[in-house]
Structure 1
């Protein structure tokens, strides 16, 4: 049985966009859509008259019914054939969605929200769900369209392996091309990404391109054989990681990244590269955490460095 697609709902415009994206994902997977709304004690969007830990309190039921009804209408408009369930839970949204991810095929969230959801993608919480979630996380931002390729950020880390498999599956489900991008690091250009950049970096472009081709060969071989229906475009590029990913996302319908990498994508979800992608990518971003690492390991070490 296909696991459900879970989407965080809080009544904001961003969460309704996430519901639309989640309903489409549920439809192409043949899965149920699960609407999750969490009541946290700090939820500033709750009305007065009832404590936030009591969903039956005065005014809360009306708010809840309106929020979830609007979400259901959006979902049905996108994919009327998809079954929908509601899950109203007491707890902080990040914790609730983390728990929901244990029985989901995908968790979908908007890039901005109300109350406790408002910080979901800001600061250290941007890596929390990806580091602790048990399934891929789709962050809905930028342009919402179904044209263009699925853009895959490839490196030579274990985290990239899971992202590659997810990207091939997603491209197959969407009937889209897969653009596999490996950024060839030009010296320190992936770290120094501002006024302090060195004026120039000397590097052997031929050597970098050969290395990028080897990385792409190794990463794509297995999944490509499993998905012969997916056209693949290889993109070995020399440049700065953040700028390259953001620029490339302009023509993509989805950007897929691994939650833990090395080389050009080192610390992708917990450092400056991750913040740039999550805040500035021009299309939705799917974050695929490496299943072989424990959540604690995914958080620790060098993750907070660029």
Structure 2
């Protein structure tokens, strides 16, 4: 394994955010395994938000030079990444590991690093909707704005989940990149893929939402799943494929089904800020409430209203 400490981000690398937390350690394990399985470079990224003007005044009043403080923060960041790289070296077969420290807002640093990445991997502390609204979330910023797939790792990887990689199929013409990512991960990890398509239908609280595969009333909806599975199945013939058709709200079905999945994959069309604020989006809601790790794949931007 080679370790580089320059400043560039290699194209098609797996980038993982490292901040010293337990959730970042889980993200590191997932990212390192993915980099090993796909034979890709791994970038360990640590970002430090420079102190505010108020904090700077306090630091200088205590006798410490502002420049010295920045140097100390940067040095601590490099030490954190060295430790992470050592763990990757000991536990995973990754040929290229790059350590990157950025003195900027972590959200900005991750989004910039993800520009040419194969995937961005982050941990989540599971703050919940109220604290998330008040405090903001690095993971949610990545989900909403990154230009590459974002894997939000929640808990240790579960190998015994019966549906393997679950992927939401919208049937709106934007599923190809989502399916390709899901099949790519499943193929590397030897997992099956379960395609889920949910169509709107009024359902009661106690009603079943899953539709039998032989129900002739929903043949057109079932066809969406079979047509979607065709191209990626030909590219990844060793991946076993299952189908799940359901009625109701897509986010409700995906969140409920995530209890059985090792990874949930879905697409996200980025919205203009005002539309995001008013209407929200399925992907952030699923990331917030899913019971497994979630990968969100960008499928383009929605136009301004």
SS at match of 1:138: strand
Structure 1 position 178 matched with structure 2 position 187: no
Q: Give unpaired runs (5+ residues) of structure 2.
A: 1-9, 53-58, 271-275
| Largest Rg, 1 or 2 | 2
1:162 to 177, 180, 184: 177
CA RMSD of aligned residues (A): 3.7
CA distance in 1, matches of 2:259, 2:231: 28
The worse-fitting range, judged by mean Cα deviation, of 14-23 and 73-82 is 73-82
Per-residue CA shift, 1:254-284, capped at 9, x if unaligned?
A: 10000139xxxxx8xx726334311221111
Per-residue CA shift, 1:89-137, capped at 9, x if unaligned?
A: 12111111111112211110111399xxx96997687654234322111
CA distance in 1, matches of 2:174, 2:258: 20
CA distance in 1, matches of 2:263, 2:176: 17
For residue 246 of structure 1, what is the aligned residue in structure 2? 255
Size of the aligned set, in residue pairs, is 273
1:66-145 → structure 2 map (5 Å cutoff)? 66-112=79-125, 128-145=141-158
Distance 1:164 1:79, change over 3 A: same
- The alpha-carbon deviation at position 246 of structure 1 amounts to 1.7
1:222 to 231, 241, 251: 231
CA distance in 1, matches of 2:156, 2:290: 9
- The alpha-carbon deviation at position 63 of structure 1 amounts to 2.5
Structure 1 position 289 matched with structure 2 position 298: yes
Q: Is the 8 A contact 2:124 2:139 kept in 1?
A: no
Distance 1:183 1:5, change over 3 A: same
For residue 4 of structure 1, what is the aligned residue in structure 2? 13
Q: Is the 8 A contact 1:136 1:289 kept in 2?
A: yes
CA distance in 2, matches of 1:285, 1:53: 39
- TM-score, normalising length: structure 1: 0.75
- The alpha-carbon deviation at position 77 of structure 1 amounts to 4.2
For residue 37 of structure 1, what is the aligned residue in structure 2? 46
Distance 1:75 1:131, change over 3 A: same
Q: Give unpaired runs (5+ residues) of structure 1.
A: 190-196, 262-266, 302-306
- The alpha-carbon deviation at position 50 of structure 1 amounts to 5.9
- The alpha-carbon deviation at position 84 of structure 1 amounts to 1.3
